[in-house]
Amino acid sequence: MSIKLFLITPPFTQLNTPYPATAYLKGFLNIKDIAAAQADLGIDVINKLFSKQGLADLFDYIESIDSPLLRRGAGGEADPQPATPNAQRIISLKNEYLKTIDQVMLFLQGKNPTLAHLICTEDFLPEASRFEQLDELDWAFGTMGVQDKAKHLATLYLEDLSDLIVECADPHFGFSRYAERLGRSANSFNELYDYLQQPYTYIDELLISLLHEKLEAEQPDMVCFSVPFPGNLYSAFRSAQYIRQHFPHIKTAMGGGFPNTELRSLTDARVMEFFDFITLDDGEAPIECITEYLQGRREATELKRTFILQNGKVTYIDNSAKPDYKQSQVGTPDYTGLPLDSYISVIEVVNPMHRMWSDGRWNKLTMAHGCYWGKCTFCDISLDYIKIYEPVAAKMLADRMEQLIAQTGQNGFHFVDEAAPPALMRELALEILRRGLSVTWWTNIRFEKSFSADLCRLLKASGCIAVSGGLEVASDRLLDLIQKGVTVAQVARVTRNFTEAGIMVHAYLMYGFPTQTAQETIDSLEMVRQMFETGILQSGFWHQFAMTAHSPVGLEPEKFSVVKESDIVGSFANNDIVHIDTIGTDHDKFSYGLKKSLFNFMHGLCFDYPLQDWFEFKVPKTKVPHDYIYNVLHDDAEYMVKLTSKIVWLGTKPVAERYVKSKKGRTFNMLALTFYLKRETITIQLAEAQGEWLMQFVDDVSAYGGTPITFAKAKALFEEAVAEDFEPFWYSKPVTVLKQNGLLAL
């Protein structure tokens, strides 16, 4: 008996690119000859809502209330409270929105680029409260290009409409999250369950109509919902509820990041009124087992990492005899069926890394499953998605990149690793260059010392444009307590290396880690201030420490001087733990000042402000010397090449010109080698024997067709051919010029 699966990402995740979970799973199912279709209901709802017909329906819906200026309640009932002036303004400008919406959406989809000029005249789009930010943001964006400015204005336009929806149609609406509050720290299923008994909201109606159409078209045997975030939990339940009521023969399953972290101790049987199966961790083997179970080829007791309902109770079945699949066995992600030309690029905020999340189409790939470090005490290192580390071979990664470029027509890649391994990044970069691929990519890393200046130059040459990494609390004591494995000085040097190579650096910053004092918070802010002032960070974001059940802090809180507020395990979601820091300070009050200062630092402002000025309460004076980061960067020890380092040349083959040099009555045969680089031309002069050896050497170790060799091998080859010591040659002025322009030791 054949089985057809329908893989769905419910609203809402990202607007600019598909969330990759269903594409990953479909790629695996292709290998197993299991029929599967996929859909991103989030982008489908957005495109239906933000169209001329969609907005006309929305305005009609709002005007259908007894008074057109009433707010809607959570379940759609009228609440006799007058609409705000902002909503009144948007409703009054209805015809302007209907006239412009289709063209704006085409522009954001990249199909109508010339509209940018009209948008930037600032008398084309109707404007409501979101546009009040413009005066404040002009200085932040500076002289941004016409396309970028138009994207930002169009984003504000959509956010105005979003505000109208929240006020008058559906209070839970949000572009990248829907009813997120109902999924956050929901130890009890009661609130979400009660809400699901209410009438459909306006957005629910759109969602369900699209779901119905797709179910009729696809005729699946099972629908699998990927739920990565709290913000698409509610819509997954709402969709599954509809399937149970109107397509009872279709089985439903849920997997993804939310159940993986939140539902591991699920006991509430009411959840199984919506889903037949809930899977944990990597989905390939569990879904294959469920498919075989539905085909009658496997017993329920042979399912893998799956919750089912047995005898009225939620039962977890983990058949350890069924192995998981290696990363080399899961295939290439398959985006077939997703409307790749319908995603929209928006520019919401001026944080450059956050912009990358929302602007542009990115093919998602993973260099390695899990984390090669796996020690950070705030992280869920006890769970398989972190704990089980398995890298993918560089050649296989490059193969998958080529396949995705052919499939999607896009050459941008976001590697969604927990922390991409430096050695694998190096090998992938070399493979990209060897194949002559023209790609753009970015990823998440650890700021470890392996990222030398030369490695960063190689990554840049292969198309790497940005990295993000955890600086966390910029305090060596707390970094040690976190077991981050780095120091502030080391992070500074690594971020300098990336920055000088032309790769943007974003730092994840943390405050409120257990035992953190007010002094350490202010000292951490000073470190961050200096890193932006010296230009080695371009982007950052502060987040407050959250204790999770699967982290070392959550598992052994007494080791970190924190106390759980309650030991009660809920029947639904259990991950975030409310805790009391018995030693540290009141962390909440630092939030606004940290974020406000960072916003200014990111734009090169207010470095001379006393740190006290960012806070409305008394804070300690920093104990960090004002030139600490500057000194760290200038005290860096001279880089000595290891014998095992691989030598690579990123430039072209030189053009040689022979000449004779006379000095003090003696003549020397010389070679002038001219290298034509992308942006400049350099010429070096060497003795003839040295020059001839170097010409052949750079060709042999070229990243575009040669083979890297070790420093030790290069030394042996040089000394055999030239009969001179290699070190004086390697550290000479002419070769140093080459090392500054693409002769790398990795």
> Would you state the pLDDT for residue 82?
67
Contact 445, 469 (CB under 8 A): yes
Tell me the β-bridge partners of 553: none
Compute the mean pLDDT over every residue in the chain, rounded to the nearest whole number: 90
pLDDT > 60? residue 625: yes
> Would you state the pLDDT for residue 193?
93
d(CA 50, CA 346): 14
Nearest to 507 by CA among 237, 520, 327, 530: 530
Pick the residue with more confidence: 491 or 355?
A: 491
What's the pLDDT tens digit per position in 545-569?
A: 888 888 898 888 888 888 887 766 6
d(CA 459, CA 432): 10
Nearest to 203 by CA among 233, 179, 170, 177: 170
> Would you state the pLDDT for residue 184?
59
Contact 40, 338 (CB under 8 A): yes
What's the pLDDT tens digit per position in 367-394?
A: 999 999 998 998 988 888 888 999 999 9
- Phi-psi category of 312—alpha, beta or left, where left has phi over 0 and alpha has psi -120 to 50? left
pLDDT > 60? residue 614: yes
pLDDT > 90? residue 490: yes
> Which of helix, strand or coil describes residue 635?
coil
All residues at 6 or more sequence positions from 548 whose CB lies less than 8 Å from its CB, including other chains: 261, 378, 380, 554, 575, 576, 577
Mean pLDDT, residues 685-705 taken together: 93
> Would you state the pLDDT for residue 138?
55
65 pLDDT tier (thresholds 50, 70, 90): confident
What's the pLDDT tens digit per position in 270-298?
A: 999 999 999 999 999 999 999 999 999 99
Contact 326, 31 (CB under 8 A): no
- Domains (ranges, CATH) in the chain? 4-44+179-329 (3.40.50.2300), 48-168 (no CATH), 350-557+584-634 (3.20.20.70), 646-745 (no CATH)
What's the pLDDT tens digit per position in 193-212?
A: 999 999 999 999 999 999 99
Pick the residue with more confidence: 350 or 129?
A: 129
Q: What percent of the chain is modeled with pLDDT above 90? A: 72
Tell me the β-bridge partners of 40: 9
pLDDT > 70? residue 259: yes
pLDDT > 70? residue 634: yes
> Would you state the pLDDT for residue 240?
98
Contact 308, 276 (CB under 8 A): yes
